[in-house]
């Protein structure tokens, strides 16, 4: 497994040097991977859960510029206000998404923070100062879609970055019904001391619950860059 991890790190470095020569907006450059996956598709529909900023560090802005549109969801109202201004074609929702509707605690750092979360384990791992803990209600992704203009659409891409709550988001989404072609999901490995590429392990990814869940739903892992895992539906592959 040590050899496997070494190969994994080398591929990450090669990827950064070659692939990321293109202009990208996402934190890791995963939107370049998406651009290459969907290179033959001019129009499409996405769902971006934990969208945070409409341009900077965003996984779907490159596709939006290309002519795509879809649903953006974030638990910070200030972030959604930015989306309403910068991406008016999209439907933007100020919601916390989980596996069902419930009352939870939001660990809030500051407005527009990328690490605001409803996942306590992740909050503890971040070791940043929580300025307040708020009680909020969650919703499911299925409910959001049903209350949007996209309720009768299929989706090409689902992107989830919600600071440790990704699996819960997936469990509130009917994958059998919608079956997006590609799923990008952030995987925060809380088993390492610090989230740096040199500390990450493909072994931990392959043993994670989120990997096992998506594999059981007919998806295959095709790419990983930093904390972003890219899964493709087997029906979308040639």
What's the CATH code of the domain at 217?
A: 3.40.50.150
The helix/strand/coil state of 58 is coil
Judge contact between 67 and 43, C-beta under 8 A: yes
Instruction: Tell me if 175 is assigned to some domain.
Output: yes
Instruction: Say what the pLDDT of residue 85 is.
Output: 96
As a whole number of angstroms, the distance between CA 125 and CA 120 comes to: 9
Mean pLDDT score of the chain: 86
- At 52-81, the pLDDT tens digits run 999 999 999 999 999 999 999 999 999 999
- At 175-199, the pLDDT tens digits run 999 999 999 999 987 666 666 666 6
Instruction: Tell me if 10 is assigned to some domain.
Output: yes
Distances (CA, A) of 102 to 105, 111, 208: 10, 23, 25
Query: Residue 214's domain spans which residues?
Result: 2-94+141-236
Distances (CA, A) of 170 to 77, 99, 143, 205: 22, 7, 13, 17
Instruction: Say what the pLDDT of residue 42 is.
Output: 92
- What percentage of the chain reaches a pLDDT higher than 90? 62
Least confident range from 15-24, 153-162, 212-221: namely 15-24
Judge contact between 160 and 166, C-beta under 8 A: yes
The helix/strand/coil state of 165 is coil
The helix/strand/coil state of 54 is coil
pLDDT over 70 at 21, yes or no: no
Instruction: Tell me if 123 is assigned to some domain.
Output: no
Q: Across the strands, what pairs with 219?
A: 233
Least confident range from 22-26, 45-49, 161-165, 218-222: namely 22-26
Instruction: Say what the pLDDT of residue 196 is.
Output: 65
Instruction: Say what the pLDDT of residue 45 is.
Output: 98
Number of domains in the chain: 1
Instruction: Tell me if 85 is assigned to some domain.
Output: yes
The helix/strand/coil state of 15 is helix
Instruction: Say what the pLDDT of residue 18 is.
Output: 46
Instruction: Tell me if 45 is assigned to some domain.
Output: yes
- At 100-134, the pLDDT tens digits run 999 988 777 767 666 677 777 766 667 767 777 88
Instruction: Say what the pLDDT of residue 50 is.
Output: 95
Instruction: Tell me if 23 is assigned to some domain.
Output: yes
Instruction: Tell me if 99 is assigned to some domain.
Output: no
The mean pLDDT value for 40-44 works out to 94
Least confident range from 18-22, 82-86, 139-143: namely 18-22
pLDDT over 70 at 13, yes or no: no
pLDDT over 80 at 12, yes or no: no
Instruction: Tell me if 63 is assigned to some domain.
Output: yes
pLDDT over 60 at 15, yes or no: no
Instruction: Say what the pLDDT of residue 35 is.
Output: 93
């Amino acid at each position: 497994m040590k050899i496997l991890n070494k190969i994994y790190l080398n591929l990450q470095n090669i990827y950064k040097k070659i692939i990321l020569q293109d202009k990208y907006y996402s934190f890791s450059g995963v939107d370049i991977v998406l651009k290459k996956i969907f290179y033959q598709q001019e129009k499409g529909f996405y769902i971006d859960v934990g969208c945070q900023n409409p341009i900077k560090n965003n996984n779907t802005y490159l596709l939006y510029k290309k002519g795509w549109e879809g649903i953006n969801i974030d638990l910070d109202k200030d972030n959604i206000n930015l989306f309403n201004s910068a991406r008016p074609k999209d439907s933007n929702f100020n919601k916390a998404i989980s596996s069902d509707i419930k009352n939870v605690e939001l660990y809030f750092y500051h407005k527009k923070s990328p690490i605001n979360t409803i996942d306590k384990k992740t909050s503890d791992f971040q070791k940043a100062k929580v300025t307040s803990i708020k009680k909020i209600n969650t919703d499911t992704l299925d409910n959001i879609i049903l209350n949007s203009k996209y309720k009768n659409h299929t989706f090409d891409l689902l992107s989830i970055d919600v600071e440790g709550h990704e699996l819960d988001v997936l469990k509130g989404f009917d994958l059998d019904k919608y079956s997006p072609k590609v799923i990008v999901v952030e995987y925060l490995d809380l088993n390492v001391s610090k989230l740096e590429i040199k500390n990450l392990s493909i072994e931990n990814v392959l043993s994670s619950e989120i990997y096992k869940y998506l594999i059981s739903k007919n998806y295959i892992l095709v790419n990983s860059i930093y904390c972003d895992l890219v899964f493709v539906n087997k029906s979308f592959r040639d």
